[in-house]
Structure formats: structure tokens, C-alpha cells
Amino acid sequence: SIPLGFFGGIGSASKQGVLVKGGNYLEALNSVKTVVMDKTGTLTEGTFEVAKLVPEDKWSKDELLKLAAQAETNSNHPIAESILRAYDGEKINTEEIDSYQEIAGHGLQVVVDSKEILAGNHKLMEKEEIKYPTTKESGTVIHVAYDGEYVGYILISDKIKDDAAAAISGLRELGVEQLVMLTGDNERVAKSVASELDLDKYYAELLPDDKVTQVEELIRDRDENDKLVFVGDGINDAPVLARSDIGVAMGGLGSDAAIEAADVVLMKDKPSNLVDAINVAKFTRNIVW
Ligand code: ADP
Ligand code: MG
């Protein structure tokens, strides 16, 4: 059974913007040794900005952006939002969209006026057998193809959250031994974020299922009494939130499915809110025992 004091702990947590779904999770937060974080929307703002449009010779920048905007018009992925913000051409007629498919970790496959538009990463191009150039861009590259033909790419950049570095050092001070980042984004972006934040490990180009596999592996390798936290913004994160010892969703951005699957919800959209959560857990334990 859970000591009564934990209810007080849950109350103090909520004052810090931390919603804990049970005293057992508050107790478990005392034993966190591994923190696994999703990149986009958790460590980074998740508000991408279009930095560059690079069409093939026979296409213009406007045409490239319009095709991408047509494909992304029904998506609520942060990448889609950035493309739609950058697009200021004529209004997109959603009635022309014949079919729409969002492929997790890849991008979009949309049929507009009987012609297929692809917008996504190199994995999507490979899957659909579209030849694409290899780039050395440092950022997220969204390739666009139209009717089987490569049109060009859009370079999108994200920003590390202002308080991410403080969160990382706060977690280390609280005894977290291993900080790991998981991302569906490309190797180059992952490497630069992980090295800027001085993380212990990162895994890039992961599909949602690969994130589950990676977390399962980390759980297998750890000491039985050490707990593993996964923190995500919720987009495609529900399975991995459920699989972790303590699944933590960033509340502000989080989808309903993620808030449902999470054990702890951080209402401040800041990674440092996890430091608050562990501090409340430690404080509560001192009162309870
Ligand atoms: P993360 O793991 O960093 O949260 P996601 O799993 O959401 O990232 O996405 C991984 C990659 O899949 C993106 O970096 C992008 O290349 C591609 N992708 C996902 N959704 C879209 C979309 N709506 N449009 C274009 N590309 C997308
Ligand atoms: Mg994500």
C-alpha cells in the first residue's frame, strides 16, 4: 500500500506543474538512473523553420514549397506546421486531395488531383524508389517528389530549448547516470544535438517501434532497482511511454494518447520540469519515511 504522505507529495508536485498518476510513480522517481529523451519537441523547440529551398533545375522554389504545402496541409507534425507557415501562395484546396497517408518516421504520401506527392526523409525516397541527392546539410532535410519525379528538398532547422542544458546538469546532480536521446531525425542532426548537450548516448533514424526496442534493451541492461524514465512530446510516443518504468509526457504539446499513456505529465513545456519532479519525489520521501 502507498503511505498517505504520497498524496501530499502528489499535491506538491502539481503545484510545480508536474502531474503524477500515482504514489508509486512518485516513489519510483527516487531511483531514476537512466533518462531517455525524445529529441523533437522535448529537447528542441519542435518549431522548425524553413531555412532553405533547393529545387532541381526545372522547378522553382515556389513550386517546391507549394507541393510540400499541399502534401502537409492535413498533418499536425511540427515539420508540417513549419512548411505551412513558410508557404504564402494561393490557398490550398483540400478537396483536391484524393488520398492521404502519414508514414511514421518517414513522411507523407498524398495524392492530389490524381498525382502523387511525397514529402519526407531519405527513407521515404528509398521506399518509393525515387532518386535523391545526398546532402551535407546540417538540419532536417525534407525531400519532395511529384508524380514519380524528384523535385528538390527543403531544409528545416530546429532549436535546442533554452533550458535543456540546465535540465541535463540538474539531472546529473540528482544522480542520473545515463542520459540518452532517441530520434527519428537524421544522424547528422542527432549527433550535433547530443554533443551540444553532452549526452551519453544517442540513437538516430529510429521508427516508433525502434524506440520501443531501444528502451527495452536499456531496461534489460540496467540494475533491477534502477528506474528508467522516458520523456517525450507525445507525437508517436505512446508505445514507448507505456513500455518505460516511468513514462513522462510533455503536457503542453502532448497528444491525448500520450497523456493517457504517460505516468507523469509535465505541464511546463520544459525539460527542467523533470528535475522539479524528481526533487518533489525526494522531498516527499524524506517526509514519508
Ligand atoms: P522525432 O523522433 O525526432 O520526434 P519523428 O519520429 O516525429 O521525429 O519524425 C522522424 C522523421 O520522419 C522526421 O525528421 C522527418 O524526416 C520524417 N517525418 C515525419 N513526419 C513528417 C511529415 N509530416 N512531413 C515530412 N517528414 C516527416
Ligand atoms: Mg517526436
Pocket test for ligand 1, best of 65, 82, 121 (most atoms within 8 A of CB): 121
Residue 120: per-residue pLDDT: 98
Ligand 1 centroid vs 207 CA: distance in angstroms?
9
166 CB-side CA count, 13 A: 10
Amino acid at 177: E
Residue % of the chain over a pLDDT of 90: 72
5-45+160-288 to CATH, choices 3.90.228.20, 3.50.30.50, 3.10.20.740, 3.40.50.1000? 3.40.50.1000
When mean pLDDT is compared over 2-11, 21-30, 39-48, 139-148, the highest value belongs to 139-148
Compute the distance from residue 77 Cα to the ligand 1 centre, in Å.
Answer: 7
Q: Give me ligand 2 centre to Cα 280, in Å.
A: 27
Residue 227 is predicted with a pLDDT of: 97
Question: What does the pLDDT read at residue 138?
Answer: 81
Looking at per-residue confidence, does 104 or 33 come out higher?
Answer: 33
Over residues 264-275, the mean pLDDT reads 92
Per-residue pLDDT tens for 154-190? 999 989 999 999 999 999 999 999 999 999 999 999 9
pLDDT band at 252 (very low <50, low <70, confident <90, very high): low
Which protein residue's CA is at the shortest distance from atom 22 of ligand 1? 107
Instruction: Decide if pLDDT at 288 tops 80.
Output: no
Q: Is the pLDDT of residue 251 over 70?
A: yes
Mutate to test the pocket of ligand 1, among 43, 81, 110, 185 (most ligand atoms within 8 A of CB): 185
pLDDT at 161: 93
Other C-beta atoms lying within 10 Å of the C-beta of residue 76 = 11
| CA–CA gap between residue 245 and residue 33 (Å, rounded) | 11
What is the residue with the minimal CA distance to atom 20 of ligand 1?
A: 107
- We find that the CATH architecture of domain 49-157 is 3-Layer(aba) Sandwich (3.40)
Residue 121 confidence (pLDDT) above 60? yes
CA of 3 to the centre of ligand 2 (A): 36
- Which residues are part of the catalytic machinery? 38
What's the pLDDT score for residue 41? 87
Closest ligand 1 atom to the C-alpha of 208?
6
Q: So where are the chain's domains?
A: 5-45+160-288, 49-157
ipTM value > 0.90:
yes
Ligand 1: distance of its center to the CA of 80 in Å?
9
Question: In this predicted structure, what is the pLDDT of residue 10?
Answer: 84
The residue whose CB lies within 8 Å of the most ligand 1 atoms, and thus the one to mutate among 40, 192, 193, 253, is: 40
Q: Mean of the per-residue pLDDT values for the chain?
A: 91
| Atom 5 of ligand 1, residue of closest alpha carbon | 184
Opening angle at CA 225, ends 289 and 276, nearest 5: 60
CA nearest ligand 1 atom 19, residue: 107
Q: Which residues line ligand 1 (CB under 6 A)?
A: 38-40, 72, 75, 77, 79-80, 105-108, 119-121, 140, 142, 183-185, 235-236
% the chain with pLDDT above 70: 95
Q: What is the 3-state secondary structure (H, E, C) of the chain?
A: CCCCHHHHHHHHHHHCCEEECCHHHHHHHHHEEEEEEEHHHHHECCCCEEEEEEECCCCCHHHHHHHHHHHHCCCCCHHHHHHHHHCCCCCCCHHHEEEEEEECCCEEEEEECCEEEEEECHHHHHHCCCCCCCCCCCCEEEEEEECCEEEEEEEEECCECCCHHHHHHHHHHCCCCEEEEECCCCHHHHHHHHHHCCCCEEECCCCHHHHHHHHHHHHHHCCCCCEEEEEECCCCCHHHHHHCCEEEEECCCCCHHHHHHCCEEECCCCCHHHHHHHHHHHHHHHHHC
Question: What tens digit of pLDDT does each residue of 6-42 get?
Answer: 667 888 888 888 999 988 999 999 999 999 999 988 9
CA-nearest residue for atom 8, ligand 1, is 184
